[in-house]
Structure 1
């Protein structure tokens, strides 16, 4: 195989490497491509675990960046990151990294906003952070997002957002995590009761500190215990109705504050978004600083005078039978009766490829998908 593909090169889709089962693939045959040095690759051997911790695939770290003496050292140390990165990007990224690290553990009035402002180059406005893609790779911006979310919050509070939330106090926050928003609100004199089923240290804030006392309570229990407070829901997960939808349904008040994205984003389940759209009306909204590709806002919802039942049901696009709420794609019966040319399992969902889609994609990508460990259903026809 190697002799046929030499030199082994990873498949590119535009400027990004094609990734199947979490690793790059050979542009010629679709086999997993393993880095062995700066821009040097080989095929993975049969039954060999993929070296995900390879230094040649690692994102930039401050420990790795600060000791490099020049741009040439950077491109040699981080060849995967350095594709399309200019020397100016590298210098600016290094400057922002240094400022970020210097401020990371310093106290302040709103340290999350301060650190995000540093990453964004000194100025943050509502909307996506203005960080060009090459510079974002030098900063490993997605890594910074996860790091700051674990320490503080998934959503970035601003003075305007805190003011708008405070106008609706007293508040009950469910899913408060580290209590970061609640701590900033309390510092401004707002009466807020933060609650969470697993305060800090949970799946979404592993390793984070608690910024203020957070009461341990599942969302519905919290709503029932403090019914006279305005409900604040911040970044409920997209796969857990208990964290968002159930709380809103159990809530007897007239105003809900929701922090997160829309129905096509990473926050809130399909049921939660449908409940808000059907039985609540937006009375105020405020865009928040958002990580690239993840729109975020604070929305104030007012209960409609007459409740309408949530009768919207998801249906299979082929046979129109009902499928679980939020499900994408065809139902299991249709898939069994008429299998797709290729199907992959992605979490709780299934991604289907038609014969026409497979014909149009690069041969190496098709070969890799056909060998994928996420493959489900019968093998494709020859």
Structure 2
């Protein structure tokens, strides 16, 4: 269980007692707390209760906590078949919480180990992140000393983004400055000394991944960090994976990457051949 001060316990009790305020300020949390009792847990009632307390505490803590996503999910990490996985037993309740956390923070989990691995790959260079969403990864990477430029075609702080809906009066729209741009070249025309960070690009043959990779290549980019699923999965498109196979070489894989139990994503570093 998270260690709460007496003052924080009183704040949470007051929030739970005022359902109108909870729904107005934190509608995703309110809906989760209403629905979750009817859903199947992981089989460990104590762990499930601790998880829900962490979710309530950290999702309503505002800017007082620098990395709420990891604070919520970190205790769920277990080893499974050589991978680090969140709650291998899963369950419909956790699957619902997963969507809430995806929309609030990011699809991929920025564990401290993976942030450190990215820092080693970047090695002092500038990092540019297309499709940055709420900028949660950008925030964590920047906190590790990486110079990050983040952009998105639909920054949640300036226009509607179906992947990161704006809900309630309190949650942050973005965790980092996310520029509004539809093209990598609008943000950075010369990428010869940059690393591109592509995290969970849209799948289902959406051309975003292959388009931005082509722009990166055309602007002399030579190092890519890709976080997502393999070909045929939920991220990237066939043209993107074909380009990697044809013109890039896999240089490094993060062995400490943390994935949700129901996903098959990983973190890779690629260099131009």
- Normalising by structure 1, report the TM-score: 0.53
Distance 1:192 1:113 in 2: 20
For the aligned residue pairs, the C-alpha RMSD in angstroms reads 2.5
Distance change >3 Å, CA 92–CA 215, structure 1 → 2: closer
* Preserved contact between residue 51 and residue 72 of structure 2 (Cα < 8 Å): no
* Preserved contact between residue 205 and residue 237 of structure 2 (Cα < 8 Å): yes
Distance 1:171 1:61 in 2: 35
Shift, 1:250, TM fit: 1.8
- Deviation readout 1:34-59 (Å, 9 max, x if unpaired): xxxxxxxxxxxxxxxxxxxxxxxxxx
Unaligned 5+ segments in structure 1 are 1-59, 66-73, 305-382
Matched residue of 2:117: which SS? helix
Corresponding position: 1:233 with 2:198: yes
Distance 1:226 1:145 in 2: 37
Distance change >3 Å, CA 188–CA 103, structure 1 → 2: same
- Deviation readout 1:196-244 (Å, 9 max, x if unpaired): 1111241211126201111111144347534232111111001354421
Distance 1:220 1:278 in 2: 21
Unaligned 5+ segments in structure 2 are 1-30, 167-171
Partner of 1:356: none
What are the residue-to-residue correspondences of 1:39-78 with 2, within 5 Å?
61-63=32-34, 78=38
Partner of 1:129: 86
- Deviation readout 1:356-378 (Å, 9 max, x if unpaired): xxxxxxxxxxxxxxxxxxxxxxx
Distance 2:215 2:117 in 1: 24
* Preserved contact between residue 284 and residue 301 of structure 1 (Cα < 8 Å): yes
* Preserved contact between residue 129 and residue 291 of structure 1 (Cα < 8 Å): yes
Corresponding position: 1:298 with 2:267: yes
| 1:213 maps to which of 168, 174, 177 | 177
Between Structure 1 and Structure 2, whose CA radius of gyration is higher?
A: 1
Distance 1:265 1:180 in 2: 23
| 1:243 maps to which of 187, 208, 231 | 208
- Normalising by structure 2, report the TM-score: 0.72
* Preserved contact between residue 183 and residue 211 of structure 1 (Cα < 8 Å): yes
- Deviation readout 1:250-272 (Å, 9 max, x if unpaired): 21211111111101221111111
Matched residue of 1:225: which SS? coil
Distance 2:265 2:140 in 1: 18
* Preserved contact between residue 174 and residue 222 of structure 1 (Cα < 8 Å): no
Name the count of aligned residue pairs.
222
What are the residue-to-residue correspondences of 1:256-271 with 2, within 5 Å?
256-271=224-239
Q: Which has the higher helix share?
A: 2
* Preserved contact between residue 178 and residue 205 of structure 1 (Cα < 8 Å): yes
Structure with the bigger RCO (C-alpha within 8 Å, sep 6+) is 2
Distance 1:225 1:275 in 2: 21
